[in-house]
Amino acid sequence: MPNLPHTSRSAVSPGLLLALAMAVSQTAPAQTAPAVLQPAESHRTVATLSATGVQIYVCKRDGDKPPAWVFKAPLAELYDASGKLIIKHGAGPSWEASDGSKITGKVLQQTPNTAEAGAIPLLLLQATNAGGAGLLSGVRYVQRLQTHGGIAPGLPCTEEGQEGRSPYLAQYVFLD
């Protein structure tokens, strides 16, 4: 699987990230979500999409402790198997489909990605309709699987408010 560099700026081109995301999704078998990330009752898959983007961190000081990176928000684009942009993912967390439907999520469960050291955790989120009819309007859960990269930047943060961005790839499964 790809090793993604940590960067304080988005030094990796979106095209390269998309190519990596598509290569990973086509060469890696779809990952089955661990039991802890399965919703209580069985649900139908609405969409399974490959994400490419960054995890944004901000440098913050906690009392007398040295400044440290704190997660701020994701910024990613989600593509179908043909490479078509379907959803934009951002702060909240939120997802907005190209048809105008929107959801926000709340983390219910997370577990480390034991398949790849240095990757952000796998997640199960509960979704809430934030507006618009379309692809996302009936989504109740979102799983984040097959994560690559995205952990806090390796370089120390030195100035409060400084922003760091870490490239990441993931698979998002939307369930009704």
- With beta carbons less than 8 A apart as the criterion, state whether 88 and 77 touch: yes
Least confident of 29-33, 60-64, 104-108, 165-169: 29-33
Q: Which domain range does residue 108 map to?
A: 14-31+44-175
Whether residue 162 lies inside any domain: the answer is: yes
> Domain tally for the chain?
1
Q: What is the C-alpha to C-alpha distance for residues 156 and 168, in angstroms, rounded to an integer?
A: 19
Whether residue 37 lies inside any domain: the answer is: no
Whether residue 166 lies inside any domain: the answer is: yes
Q: What percent of the chain has pLDDT over 90?
A: 74
Whether residue 143 lies inside any domain: the answer is: yes
For residues 140-162, give the mean pLDDT. 96
Whether residue 107 lies inside any domain: the answer is: yes
Whether residue 128 lies inside any domain: the answer is: yes
Whether residue 3 lies inside any domain: the answer is: no
User: Is pLDDT at 20 greater than 80 in this prediction?
Assistant: no
- The whole-model pTM stands at 0.83
Strands 141-149 and 102-111: unpaired
Provide CB contacts within 8 A for 160, sequence distance 6+: 59, 60, 61, 67
Whether residue 4 lies inside any domain: the answer is: no
* Alpha-helical segments (H) within the chain: 14-27
